[in-house]
Every structure is written in structure tokens, then in C-alpha cells.
């Protein structure tokens, strides 16, 4: 399902039309009025350099996962005002505007634009430019709003996904279930895509699975259970013994196991819901392998759990492998512990060790704090299904990315520590002037805080990486674009290289972004020369 590789990235992005290519007209009107004013005052060929960055990590954290670059490239690739756009703009703008301006708009392209970017999936920090866009002033100005739109939410939700991953730990299965509560259909698709990039394992969103090759997951809802009222509904249900064409009546086998289980689990067979049992039998008949049932429609302990165990053992008798249960309400710590203890009891009593290890999935309005709290309380959940809080980023629903003219140029390096126990943690991001010699490995270099004179330190990098790469030049993509799965690996590896104290949930340590002594001097001269410039929001 995943696209084949980096070499086909160009044709791959062209073929992904379904999710809509951003058009240049998806911009703020003031970008177009400014373009006209620039054009009119003869500044259309002025060159400008804009940096796209953010000022504060989201969610009170100290890291951000950069995402959205592939969509930015698609935007550059398709940057063209259509005739219908131009006709619309003629109606909206004042009538005094020269026809030549519209001719100009219709022929502009990104052929003279250069885009430098940090690789998508990299862990990034405040004030570090994610994108640097160079080109004719009106054109790079027009690109501001769409580029911000494409990077802001993508990076926000990828970061959110990564935070859930950090909270849950590397072993848990994390599933994104947010489609119904996302901010629109495309918001949902972006959420599925970038949560996966941020370390999730799958999504319930079928179209996201189809478009992006993300594993899709899902079983059944409460409505499925309530649509069955008694065992009459399924009395004729048969199932083939696995690997054979031999149809077996399934209900009697279930009845037999139910009887045996009443002793082991101590439930009363007149307290289980027969409608729920019928629903489980029906679902198991449809999906005999990997049976996973939602057990909280009526009563987890008295009905759902016994009914699941009944059907799971009957399936096992016919050669199938049941998978587990899902909890969607109640006290998830208590219930998951209880369910696990019952699974273990069945495992012991029937000498079926696999039964003790059945999967427990939990959903129900889970946020990052819920997971931390569950960890503290102790739980037996193997997999989390996460919706609203993940996809809408409830804790902070927008990343405040900005796009600003830069008064200077720089090169951006990432230094790694020398560390015998790990591959070497990320140590500092350092900005140098373009004409500076690249730093030398294992040789000390002075890193200065960009604003505070007293903050500086010598660093001796064991490993080094240039962070900015030229991605777009002469109207062409000049880097290969990784697949989504590769981006996901990149993001996980990038976060792994961060020191633990930058990643902890409570009061994380800020990661340092420094400048070289030469750039520090240059910046301070520049600041002295210039009047203070107001904040551009």
C-alpha cells in the first residue's frame, strides 16, 4: 500500500490529486493587494528572503515535529493562477487596476523561487527556520499564507501524535480514531497522515489508508451490539472449521463454553446479555480470525467479558485465533486490570497461555494526561484508540508559525554529543554565517545565545549535520521525497536522539539554539543600526 520509494517521489506527489492541491488563490486577500502595490511601484523583480518558523513549542513542550513539507512542494509545483481565478480577482479588486497586472499574475510561477527546508519529520525548535523561501518579492509574499497553512497544522498534529507516543511508551499500539470529530474532512485526512508520521501505528480512517498507505483498524460499535436483541437472531449461524469446508453450528459450541466459564469466571448466565452474545457470535462468524469485541455496551464484568471469553474459546476450538477486547467507557485502569486478571484465570484454568495475553484496547476521550494518569495508576491496556484530543489538538489547536523577511543569511548545523551509551544525543542547533568555514568535528567551537551576551559555551561536536537543504530550484524539486513510512522512521529516530530531559511531560528543559561568534557580532551590529521593528503577527 505504501508508495514504492524515493525515486518515484515526483510522480507520486503529482498523482495524489485526491486530497486536493493547494491553489495560490487559497491565500489572504492582502497578499494580492500587496502584490499589486509591489508590481505598481516597480518592485516586482526585487528579490526577497522569507523564513518560516514558530516562536514557541506547542503543548507546553520543548520540541516540535516538522511536517507538511511534501504538501508545500506540491503547492510550489502547481503554483498557477487559473483564468477563472483571474476573472474572480478582476471582480474583487478595484476597477482602477491595470489589465497588465492580471497578465502578470497569470504568468507568474515558482521558476525563480528557491526553497530551502529542514527535512520533514525532523524534531525542530523555536526560531529555527523550517523553510527559507527566496525569490521575487511579490511571489514569495503570495506564498506566505498557504505555506503557513500547510506547515502549521501538519507540524502541530505530528507533534501531538509524538507526545502521545512518548506518554504511552514505544511498545503500545496507538490508533487514531478522530475522523468524526476532526475539523472537516481534510482536517481528518491530515490528522491521520501526520499522526502516523508522528509515531502512531494506524488509523480508523479508510480513505487515509487508501491515500497514504496507513494501516487501517476497526471492529464494531455499540450500535452493532444493540442491533441484536436475542439469540434467535443467530440460531442458524454456522462457521467452517479453520482450513476446512466443514460447516459447524457455532451457537452450541458457544453454549458449551459459556457453561464451563460460569465456574471459572463466576458469572451468572442469566445476567449476560443474550443480545450481546448474539452480536459477538455474528461478528465472530464474519471475522473468525482476529476477533476483537467491544465489551462495554451493557456491563463489562457481568456480561461483556464473559460473552467475549465464551466466543473466543468457541473460535479457538474451531482453530481460529481471537485477538481481544475494547473498552470504551468506565474506569480504564480498574477495568483493564480486571479484564487481564480474568484472562489470566481462564488461561490457567484451561491451560491456554495465549488467553492471558489477549489484547486490551481502550478508547473513550483519551488525552495525553489520561495516559500519564493511567501509567501512574497501573493498567493492562495494550492499545489506545485516540480521537478528539489527538486530531483537534485540544490542548492547543494552532501552532503559531510565522513567515518573516530575514535581514541576513545563515547556515544551520546540528551538533551531536559524544556519548558512549547512546548514538550521541542532539546537543545544539548552531547558526553560522554563510561564509564561515564549517565547524570541525571534535574541535571546540563557541556557541552563543543569539540575544543574551552572558550565555555562551564551547561545544565539541562528535557528529554534525547540515540542517537546511535546497529542495526547490529552477522550478524543480531537487531532493527526493521520502515515503510516509520513511518520514515516520525519521521522526522516531530524530526524537530518540534528543536527551530525555527535553522530552519529559513536566517542566522539560529547553533545547538550545545558538549562533556562532561571528553571526552574533553581525546580528548585534544589525540591531544597533536599525530601529526596533514591531512584531509582525
CA 510 to chain centre: 22
Residues 41 to 70 in contact with a second copy, rule: CB under 8 A: 41, 43, 46, 48, 50
Centre a 10 Å sphere on the Cβ of residue 341 and count the other Cβ atoms it contains.
11
Gap between the Cα atoms of 475 and 41, Å rounded = 26
Name the residue among 236, 269, 260, 233 with its Cα closest to residue 314: 260
Q: Cell 496507513, residue?
A: 214
212 binds a second copy, rule: CB under 8 A: no
Q: Contacts with a second copy in 476-505 (CB under 8 A)?
A: none
Q: Which of 74, 114, 165, 220 binds a second copy (CB under 8 A)?
A: 220
Give the binding-site size for a second copy (rule: CB under 8 A): 113
Q: What part of residues 298-357 is at the interface with a second copy (CB under 8 A)?
A: 298-299, 328-329
Stretch that binds a second copy, among 28-36, 56-64, 435-443, 504-512 (CB under 8 A): 28-36
The residue range among 221-229, 370-378, 492-500, 516-524 that interacts with a second copy, by the rule CB under 8 A, is 221-229
Rounded Cα distance between 439 and 443, Å, is 8
CB of 424 vs a second copy, minimal distance in Å: 36
Q: Please, how many CA atoms are within 13 Å of residue 23, restricted to the half-sphere of its CB?
A: 10
Closer residue to a second copy, CB minimum distance, 528 or 531? 531
> Within 253-282, which residues bind a second copy (CB under 8 A)?
273, 282
Q: How far is the CB of 411 from a second copy (least distance, A)?
A: 24
Using the minimum distance from each CB to a second copy, give the nearer residue, 283 or 520.
Answer: 283
- Kindly give, in sequence order, each residue whose CB lies less than 8 Å from that of residue 134, ignoring residues fewer than 6 positions away: 47, 48, 49, 113, 114, 115, 116, 140
Q: In angstroms, what CA-CA distances link 69 with 45, 416, 442, 472, 480?
A: 26, 24, 32, 11, 12
Distance between first and last Cα of the chain: 41
CB 1 within 8 A of CB 209: yes
Give backbone dihedrals phi and psi of 297, rounded to 5 degrees, phi first: -65, -45
50 vs 63, beta carbon nearer a second copy: 50
For a second copy, the binding residues in 375-414 under the rule CB under 8 A are: 388, 392-394, 397-401, 404-405
Q: Which of 33, 106, 111, 433 binds a second copy (CB under 8 A)?
A: 33
Segment lying near a second copy (by CB under 8 A), choices 29-37, 107-115, 447-455, 517-525: 29-37
C-beta closer to a second copy: residue 87 or 443:
87
Which range of residues in 110-118, 359-367, 415-423, 496-504 is near a second copy by CB under 8 A? 359-367
Which distant-in-sequence residues (6+ apart) come within 8 Å of 398 by Cβ? 152, 153, 156
- Residue with Cβ nearer a second copy (262 or 392): 392
Query: Minimum distance from CB of 93 to a second copy (Å)?
Result: 9
Nearer to a second copy by C-beta: 227 or 260?
227
Element spanning 515, H or E: strand 513-515
User: Would you give the binding string for a second copy spanning residues 131-150, x where CB under 8 A is met?
Assistant: ------x---x--xxx-xxx
| Binding region for a second copy (CB under 8 A) out of 182-190, 247-255, 445-453, 483-491 | 182-190
For a second copy, the binding residue among 363, 383, 417, 497 (CB under 8 A) is: 363
Q: How far is the CB of 298 from a second copy (least distance, A)?
A: 6
Shortest Cβ distance from residue 190 to a second copy (Å)?
5
Is residue 218 at the binding interface for a second copy, with CB under 8 A as the rule?
Answer: yes
Rounded Cα–Cα distance for residues 54 and 63 (Å): 11
Residue 207 is given by DSSP the state H
3-state DSSP call for residue 414? strand
Q: Please report the sign of the dihedral spanned by the C-alpha atoms of residue 79, residue 83, residue 85, residue 86.
A: positive
- C-beta of 452 vs 537, nearer to a second copy: 537
What count of other Cβ atoms lies within 10 Å of the Cβ of residue 3? 19
Q: Is 37 in the site for a second copy (CB under 8 A)?
A: yes
State which of residues 2, 5, 29, 478 lies at the interface with a second copy (CB under 8 A). Answer: 29
Measured from the CB of residue 209, what is the shortest distance to a second copy in angstroms? Answer: 6
The H or E element containing residue 50 is: strand 47-53
Query: For residues 83-142, which are near a second copy according to CB under 8 A?
Result: 84-85, 88-89, 91-92, 94, 96, 137, 141
435 touches a second copy (CB under 8 A)? no
Contact between 365 and a second copy per CB under 8 A: yes
C-alpha separations of 80 from 110, 123, 346, 403 in Å: 9, 32, 65, 21
Among 103, 230, 289, 501, binds a second copy (CB under 8 A): 289
Q: Which of 8, 106, 111, 183 binds a second copy (CB under 8 A)?
A: 183
Q: Tell me how far CA of residue 212 lies from CA of 13, 77, 185, 193, 349, in angstroms.
A: 11, 20, 15, 7, 45
Instruction: Identify which range of 106-114, 343-351, 358-366, 370-378 contacts a second copy by CB under 8 A.
Output: 358-366
Which three cell numbers, joined as nine digits, stand for 209? 489508508
**Which positions ≥6 away from 386 have C-beta within 8 Å?**
164, 174, 175, 176, 177, 178, 363, 366, 367
Q: Write the secondary structure of 287-339 as one string of H (helix), E (strand) and C (coil).
A: CCCCCEEECCCCCHHHHHHHHHHHHHHHHHHCCCCCCEEEECCCCHHHHHHHH
Per CB under 8 A, the list member of 173, 216, 350, 446 interacting with a second copy is 216
**Residue nearer to a second copy on the CB measure, 362 or 426:** 362
Least spacing, CB of residue 44 vs a second copy, in Å: 12
Amino acid at each position: 500500500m505504501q508508495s514504492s520509494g524515493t525515486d518515484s517521489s515526483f510522480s507520486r506527489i503529482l498523482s495524489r490529486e485526491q486530497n486536493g492541491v493547494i491553489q495560490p488563490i487559497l491565500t489572504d486577500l492582502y497578499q494580492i493587494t500587496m502584490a499589486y502595490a509591489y508590481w505598481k511601484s516597480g518592485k516586482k523583480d526585487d528579490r526577497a528572503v522569507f523564513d518560516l518558523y514558530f516562536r514557541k513549542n506547542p503543548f507546553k513542550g520543548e520540541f516540535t515535529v516538522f511536517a507538511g513539507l511534501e504538501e508545500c512542494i506540491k503547492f510550489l509545483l502547481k503554483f498557477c493562477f487559473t483564468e477563472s481565478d483571474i476573472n474572480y480577482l478582476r471582480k474583487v479588486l478595484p476597477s482602477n487596476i491595470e489589465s497588465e497586472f492580471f497578465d502578470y499574475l497569470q504568468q507568474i510561477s515558482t521558476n525563480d523561487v528557491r526553497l530551502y527546508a529542514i527535512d520533514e519529520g525532523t524534531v525542530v525548535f523555536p526560531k529555527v527556520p523550517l523553510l527559507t523561501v527566496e525569490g521575487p518579492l511579490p511571489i514569495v509574499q503570495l506564498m506566505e499564507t498557504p505555506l503557513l497553512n500547510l506547515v502549521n497544522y501538519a507540524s502541530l498534529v505530528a507533534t501531538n501524535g509524538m507526545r502521545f507516543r512518548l506518554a504511552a511508551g514505544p511498545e503500545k499500539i496507538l490508533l487514531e480514531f478522530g475522523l468524526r470529530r476532526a475539523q472537516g474532512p481534510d482536517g481528518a485526512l491530515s490528522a491521520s497522515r501526520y499522526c502516523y508520521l508522528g509515531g502512531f501505528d494506524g488509523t480508523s480512517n479508510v480513505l487515509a489508508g487508501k491515500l497514504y498507505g496507513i494501516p487501517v483498524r476497526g471492529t464494531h460499535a455499540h450500535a452493532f451490539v444493540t442491533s441484536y436483541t436475542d439469540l434467535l437472531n443467530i440460531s442458524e449461524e454456522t462457521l467452517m472449521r479453520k482450513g476446512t469446508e466443514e460447516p459447524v453450528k457455532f451457537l452450541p459450541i458457544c453454549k458449551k463454553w459459556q457453561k464451563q466459564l460460569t465456574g471459572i469466571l463466576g458469572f451468572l448466565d442469566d445476567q449476560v446479555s443474550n443480545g450481546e452474545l448474539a452480536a459477538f457470535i455474528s461478528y465472530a462468524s464474519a471475522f473468525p480470525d482476529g476477533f476483537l469485541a467491544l465489551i462495554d455496551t451493557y456491563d463489562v464484568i457481568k456480561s461483556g467479558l464473559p460473552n467475549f471469553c465464551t466466543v473466543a474459546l468457541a473460535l479457538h476450538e474451531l482453530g481460529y485465533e481471537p485477538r481481544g477486547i475494547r473498552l470504551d467507557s468506565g474506569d480504564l485502569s480498574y477495568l483493564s486490570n480486571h479484564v487481564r486478571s480474568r484472562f489470566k484465570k481462564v488461561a490457567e484454568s484451561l491451560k491456554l497461555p495465549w488467553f492471558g495475553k489477549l489484547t486490551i484496547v481502550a478508547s473513550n476521550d483519551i488525552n495525553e494526561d489520561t495516559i500519564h494518569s493511567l501509567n501512574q495508576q497501573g493498567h493492562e491496556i495494550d492499545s489506545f484508540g485516540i480521537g478528539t484530543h489527538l486530531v483537534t489538538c485540544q490542548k492547543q489547536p494552532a501552532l503559531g508559525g510565522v513567515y518573516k523577511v530575514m535581514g541576513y543569511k545563515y547556515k544551520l548545523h546540528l551538533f551531536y554529543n559524544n556519548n558512549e551509551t547512546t548514538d550521541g544525543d542532539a546537543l545544539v542547533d548552531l547558526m553560522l554565517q554563510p561564509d564561515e568555514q564549517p565547524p570541525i568535528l571534535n574541535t571546540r567551537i563557541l556557541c552563543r545565545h543569539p540575544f543574551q551576551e552572558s550565555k555562551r559555551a564551547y561545544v565539541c561536536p562528535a557528529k554534525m549535520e547540515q540542517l537546511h537543504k535546497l529542495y526547490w530550484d529552477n522550478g524543480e524539486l531537487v531532493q527526493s521525497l521520502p515515503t510516509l513510512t520513511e518520514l515516520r522512521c525519521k521522526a522516531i529516530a530524530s526524537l530518540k536522539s534528543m536527551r530525555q530531559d527535553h522530552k519529559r511531560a513536566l517542566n522539560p528543559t529547553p533545547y538550545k539554539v545558538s549562533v556562532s561568534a561571528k553571526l552574533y557580532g553581525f546580528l548585534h551590529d544589525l540591531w544597533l543600526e536599525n530601529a526596533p521593528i514591531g512584531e509582525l503577527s
